[in-house]
C-alpha cells in the first residue's frame, strides 16, 4: 500500500511539474510577444488598479516622455491625461473620468499627456481587468502616439 501511495505521489508531482513548466513557457511566449510589439513601435502597454492609478507602463512610453517609470506609477490616470483641450476648455479630464468610473472598455480615445513638459497626444484603448469572481481590478490597455 505504501508503495502504491509513493508511486501516486510521484506521478502527481511529475504532473504538477509539467503543468508549471507549461505555464512558465506560456508566460514567456506572452512576454516575448508584448516585447516584440513594443520594439516594432506598434504602441505601449499600461495597466491601472481599481482606483484608476497607474500600476504598469511600458518603459518605452516613459522614455518617449522623458520620464522615469517611478515618476508615473501610482498616479491617477486623470492626473496624467486630459481629453478636452479645445480653446477655453482648460484641458479637462472629465470624459476620461466618466469612462474610468463606468468601468467599460475605452476605444481609441485621444488624450493629451499632461504629466510631461512635452506636448504629447496619445490614442488609448483599454479593457476591464476582472478577478475570478468578476470583480473589477482595473484596466489594461495600449497607447500610441495620436496621429
For residue 73, the enclosing domain spans 43-145
CB within 8 A of 15, min separation 6: which ones? none
Clarify whether residues 89 and 25 are in a common domain: no
Express each pLDDT in 3-27 by its tens digit.
655 666 677 777 888 887 887 777 6
* 45 touches 147 (CB < 8 A): no
Clarify whether residues 129 and 65 are in a common domain: yes
Predicted confidence band of residue 71 (pLDDT cuts 50, 70, 90): very high
Clarify whether residues 60 and 131 are in a common domain: yes
**Cα(38)–Cα(60) distance, integer angstroms:** 8
Clarify whether residues 37 and 91 are in a common domain: no
Clarify whether residues 20 and 57 are in a common domain: no
Clarify whether residues 112 and 123 are in a common domain: yes
Clarify whether residues 126 and 65 are in a common domain: yes
Clarify whether residues 48 and 24 are in a common domain: no
Clarify whether residues 26 and 2 are in a common domain: yes
The pLDDT value given to residue 129:
95
Clarify whether residues 84 and 118 are in a common domain: yes
CATH of the domain at 60: 3.30.450.20
Clarify whether residues 37 and 55 are in a common domain: no
The pLDDT value given to residue 48:
96
The pLDDT value given to residue 82:
85
Clarify whether residues 122 and 56 are in a common domain: yes
pLDDT of 86 higher than 70: no
- Number of domain units in the chain: 2
pLDDT of 1 higher than 80: no
Amino acid at each position: 500500500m505504501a508503495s502504491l501511495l509513493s508511486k501516486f505521489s510521484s506521478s502527481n508531482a511529475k504532473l504538477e511539474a509539467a503543468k508549471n513548466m507549461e505555464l512558465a513557457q506560456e508566460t514567456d511566449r506572452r512576454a516575448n510577444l508584448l516585447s516584440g510589439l513594443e520594439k516594432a513601435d506598434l504602441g505601449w502597454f499600461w495597466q491601472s488598479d481599481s482606483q484608476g492609478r497607474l500600476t504598469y507602463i511600458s518603459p518605452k512610453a516613459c522614455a518617449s516622455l522623458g520620464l522615469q517609470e517611478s515618476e508615473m506609477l501610482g498616479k491617477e490616470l486623470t492626473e496624467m491625461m486630459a481629453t478636452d483641450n479645445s480653446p477655453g476648455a482648460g484641458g479637462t479630464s472629465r470624459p476620461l473620468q466618466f469612462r474610468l468610473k463606468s468601468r467599460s472598455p475605452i476605444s481609441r480615445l485621444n488624450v493629451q499627456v499632461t504629466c510631461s513638459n512635452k506636448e504629447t497626444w496619445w490614442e488609448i484603448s483599454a479593457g476591464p481587468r476582472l478577478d475570478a469572481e468578476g470583480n473589477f481590478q482595473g484596466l489594461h490597455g495600449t497607447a500610441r502616439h495620436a496621429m
